[in-house]
């Protein structure tokens, strides 16, 4: 039986880079993979974008109301039709943006279809609240692996602070994709509390 893996970390912990490396490793051995991400992540449109500058087009995007199992099944059939190969792995970037039901589909793909699923994402938002997809991944994944990064002070970062035009903010919508005015900084608990004035949510 294949497994569902959740590899998580704060911003800048190398999640997308690790996903692209995993895809490369499979393909170097002649195996076919599918790459996906929720369409909530508009950074790079249909690309998986690593902060190191490496990008790769996804095989499919997952919309908020999509039946992930059906979208996956169609993409999997496309692999068979195009290459004659069976699929070796499904890799999902920004998995925190999936719904709980879509994460359940990932588990079914791993267990019932016997295809390993490697999901990458962050645990909590800028207010330290769990994303629905991340919370469900913690509940049902076979394997959890933290990808670590460091805070500006050198300690392990665990929170994602949001900055708008360079100023820390602690109110707003749960999702704001980084870009021209919005940025994120990984912080340890001490630095996060210092910037938030002791506030956690």
User: Where in the sequence numbering do the catalytic residues fall?
Assistant: 94
How crowded is the C-beta side of 121, counted as CA atoms within 13 Å? 32
How crowded is the C-beta side of 133, counted as CA atoms within 13 Å? 28
Beta carbons within 10 angstroms of residue 97's beta carbon: 24
Helix (H, G, I), strand (E, B) or coil at 168: strand
CA distances from 165 to 4, 51, 169, 179, 183 (A): 38, 19, 10, 10, 8
Q: Which helix (H) or strand (E) holds 49?
A: strand 47-49
Round to whole Å and give the CA distance between 112 and 160: 35
At residue 15, φ and ψ (nearest 5 deg) are -65, -50
Identify the CA nearest to 37 among candidates 113, 121, 115, 101.
121
């Amino acid at each position: 039986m294949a497994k569902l893996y959740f590899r998580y970390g704060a911003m800048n912990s190398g999640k997308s880079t690790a996903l692209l490396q995993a895809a490369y490793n499979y393909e170097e051995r002649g195996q076919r993979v599918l790459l996906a991400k929720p369409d909530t992540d508009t950074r790079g449109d249909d690309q998986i974008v690593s902060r190191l500058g490496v990008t790769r087009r996804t095989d499919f995007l997952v919309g908020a109301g999509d039946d992930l199992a059906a979208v996956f099944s169609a993409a999997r059939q496309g692999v068979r039709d195009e290459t004659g190969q069976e699929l070796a792995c499904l890799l999902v970037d920004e998995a925190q943006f999936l719904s709980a039901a879509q994460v359940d589909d990932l588990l079914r793909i791993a267990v019932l279809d016997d295809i390993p699923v490697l999901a990458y994402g962050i645990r909590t938002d800028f207010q330290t609240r769990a994303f629905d997809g991340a919370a469900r991944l913690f509940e049902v994944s076979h394997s959890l692996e933290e990808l670590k990064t460091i805070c500006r002070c050198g300690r392990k970062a665990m929170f994602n602070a949001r900055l708008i035009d360079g100023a820390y903010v602690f109110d707003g919508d749960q999702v704001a994709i980084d870009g021209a005015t919005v940025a994120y900084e990984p912080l340890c608990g001490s630095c996060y509390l210092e910037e938030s004035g002791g506030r956690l949510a």
